[in-house]
A = this chain, B = another copy of it.
Amino acid sequence: MLSKKTKYGIKALTYLAKQENRIPVQISTISKSESISQKFLESILLTLRKSGMLGSKKGKSGGYYLLKDPNNIVMVEVMRVLEGPIALVPCVSLNFYEKCHDCPDEKACSVHNLMLEVRDSMLKVLNDKTLADFI
């Protein structure tokens, strides 16, 4: 299941991408428009800022705005930043690999092989989709 964090994050990014210009939008504005708990959204936007997708402006009439062009915000990156690994098991993860301690031979493991294919099929979609596709 997708966490609400990721769900809200994608919605917020879409909202920002739909803005005509790149002037800062307040958290409260997005929170109301997308009916997201404001405090929760706050922490999500902070994460996205740290990852380099968003910029922010402090103080009065501050807010968040896209740093990159929507074409260059690939959904796989959004997922990795907010949700974590794409793979459903650590032993097939590209960016968060971890060996199964109970698995003597990955090549012979049915779970490993199945999830490898699932991962690849997901990546095919997520590597292709960008924020621009949702404007």
User: Residues on A close to B: CB < 8 A?
Assistant: 1-2, 7, 10-11, 14, 34-35, 75, 85, 88-89, 102, 109-111, 113-115, 117-118, 121-122, 124-126, 129, 133-134
Contacts and interface: CB of A to CB of B under 8 A. Distances in A.
Contacts of A89: 1-2, 7
- Grouping DSSP codes into helix (H, G, I), strand (E, B) and loop, the A interface class, with mixed when no group exceeds half, is helix
Given A2-B88, A11-B110, A11-B111, 4 more contacts: A35-B102, A110-B134, A118-B125, A118-B126
A82 to B, nearest CB: 12
19 contacts: A1-B85, A1-B88, A2-B89, A2-B111, A7-B111, A10-B110, A10-B111, A11-B110, A34-B102, A110-B134, A113-B134, A114-B125, A114-B129, A117-B129, A118-B126, A121-B121, A121-B124, A121-B125, A122-B122
